[in-house]
Structure 1
Amino acid sequence: MALDPKRAFDALPATLAADLLDTFQQVVKNFAEHRWEPSELNGGKLCEAAYTILKGYFAGIYDARAHKPANMVDACKKLESESGPRSARIQIPRMIVALYEIRNNRGVGHAGGDVDPNHMDATAVVYMSKWIVAELVRLLHGLTTDEATELVDALVEREVALVWRSGDKRRVLATGLTLRKRTLLLLSGVTEAPEADLLSWLEQRRPSDYRAKVLRPMHKERLIEYDQDAGTVALLPPGVDAAEALIRELDTRR
């Protein structure tokens, strides 16, 4: 990845870039904490920032802060008449409209079924948000889709300097950490991880020991949700807090 994630939106005013990235980070954080409703609500703020960026892209000058148009659907529709890449004129604006619709009109009317509708909506929001941010990065820097997606993954993983990633592989770069702490770091950048991936990332050759000494105790302490039947592991809110504290602690050492 040639572009430093921290410079992904250097072409924008710092305040406008912050409006987009702060909202995006909050969407991802809320989703990871299973806070489905806040994740939906924050999607609307991301739409407003993304629209403001597109408007500035075509105008040749960017507003300092994100703003809400009088009518999001009509404003995005107008972008179709601009001259420029199809992604900027049609694809991103239409995704913004779809995301904005979920934010505004999916808070009521859910009934029945075995699947939590808030979870379904929040899942749509987090991945639509990631797509929009990746497309904006690609638009501003002329990257390929894969390059832009990799960069956005790095933006999501705030511990990027502590965790190396290449394809499906991940390694904790900080040395001298316990298995528990390394597990927290690896889980902090994902919504959920297969147990098999954790074992691979941590190079654990005795899965039973790792389960007994790390996963089950952390599950009991409500730091993680360890679903042994499904073979998946995810941070719970106390685990997110513990991971954040660990990242801050390690950042102060560098």
Structure 2
Amino acid sequence: MIDKTRLLSELSPPLDHLLCSQLLDEFISAERRYIQRDWEPAELDGGQFCEILARIYYHLDSGVLSQGKDFDDCCKYLENEQVKHKVQPRRDAIHVIRVLRTIYKFRSQRGAVHISPSYQPNHMDSKLVIECVRWAMNETLRLFWSGDRESVAKAIRELLQFDVPSVGIFDGVLLVQRTDLSAEEELLVLLHYAGEEGFNRTDLGKYAQRAPSTITNALKKLASPDCRQIVLLGSGKYRLTDLGSRRVREQLSTKLLLQ
């Protein structure tokens, strides 16, 4: 999948290297905390994300690099019709700034009055914040990614996938750090982590803690006409189908977390 190092190399330049690195750290942190159902910190991360991204757009639009400029001052410059702006078309920058203002104001001014005693404000508020953060990140990729358009489209699709805290990397070796998964579930988690690139049979044999015959049987079942949750590509790699992604999203989301 697209990782931080690749994103940083594709976005900086034109984005300032330090600001871009900070932005990616905040984005990854917000995603991870949200998936781990850590609602309140996800909202706080959203505010820090807004501050950094506003400074990035101010830098790109004004040509002045200020790694500590106030959030509101950055936004006011981008909204000012009396100065010359470098980010074109103007509407793209304005859309991003309006979304950032919405996130920033919402998370700082959210009241304590709720719909009913059963309403869960932390979850609902965090969901709104994370979706706006995702949109702002993806729009920034669309505008400033230095690679080809298919690469940025792929990056955007992969950024919208769940983070997989249960998958760790140890000296280059992937490991699903749960012991309560069936063979099918472990393969689905691995292929979810692999994204659009997928894994070949050798990779899956290396990463899945299963007997070779068990892996083969699970792959056959998942790819069977009655299941169709994975597909074998012409490259020899397996990847999730939409049905497989839906199963991960709807049935295995809690198993993407560490136990």
TM-score normalised by L of structure 2: 0.60
- Equivalent residue for 2:195, pick from 144, 162, 165: 165
Alpha carbons 1:20, 1:46 under 8 Å: kept? yes
Gap change, CA 1:206 and 1:127, over 3 Å in 2:
same
What is the aligned partner in structure 1 of residue 16 from structure 2? Answer: 13
Gap change, CA 1:143 and 1:122, over 3 Å in 2:
farther
Q: CA deviation at 1:88?
A: 4.2
**Deviations, residues 29-66 of structure 1 (Å, cap 9, x unaligned):** 01000111111111110000110001000122433x35
2:52 is the alignment partner of 1:53: no
Alpha carbons 1:44, 1:99 under 8 Å: kept? yes
In 1, distance between residues paired with 2:69 and 2:221? Answer: 44
TM-score normalised by L of structure 1: 0.61
3-state SS of 2:11 partner: coil
Alpha carbons 2:2, 2:158 under 8 Å: kept? no
Alpha carbons 1:39, 1:122 under 8 Å: kept? yes
Gap change, CA 1:143 and 1:128, over 3 Å in 2:
farther
2:257 is the alignment partner of 1:240: yes
Q: CA deviation at 1:20?
A: 0.5
Gap change, CA 1:10 and 1:75, over 3 Å in 2:
closer
Q: Cα RMSD between the aligned structures?
A: 4.1
Q: CA deviation at 1:129?
A: 0.6
In 2, distance between residues paired with 1:201 and 1:67? Answer: 56
In 1, distance between residues paired with 2:69 and 2:97? Answer: 15
Q: CA deviation at 1:133?
A: 1.0
- How many corresponding residue pairs? 195
Q: CA deviation at 1:107?
A: 5.5
In 2, distance between residues paired with 1:234 and 1:106? Answer: 28
Q: CA deviation at 1:172?
A: 3.9
In 1, distance between residues paired with 2:220 and 2:26? Answer: 29
Alpha carbons 2:58, 2:75 under 8 Å: kept? no
**Deviations, residues 66-123 of structure 1 (Å, cap 9, x unaligned):** 5433xx2x64243132533234431000000001012201263335164422111111
Structure 1 stretch 49-58 or stretch 83-92: which is displaced more?
83-92
Within a 5 Å distance, the mapping from 1:12-91 to structure 2 comes to 12-63=15-66, 65-69=67-71, 72=72, 75-80=74-79, 81=81, 82-83=84-85, 84-91=88-95
Gap change, CA 1:122 and 1:13, over 3 Å in 2:
same
Identity across matched positions, percent: 24
Gap change, CA 1:45 and 1:113, over 3 Å in 2:
same
Within a 5 Å distance, the mapping from 1:81-120 to structure 2 comes to 81=81, 82-83=84-85, 84-106=88-110, 108-112=112-116, 114-120=118-124
In 1, distance between residues paired with 2:74 and 2:98? Answer: 11
In 2, distance between residues paired with 1:112 and 1:98? Answer: 24
**Deviations, residues 127-166 of structure 1 (Å, cap 9, x unaligned):** 1111111111222237798854531444575889974433
Gap change, CA 1:165 and 1:205, over 3 Å in 2:
same
- Equivalent residue for 1:175, pick from 185, 204, 210: 204
Gap change, CA 1:94 and 1:148, over 3 Å in 2:
farther
**Larger CA Rg, structure 1 vs 2:** 2
Gap change, CA 1:120 and 1:114, over 3 Å in 2:
same
Gap change, CA 1:142 and 1:240, over 3 Å in 2:
same
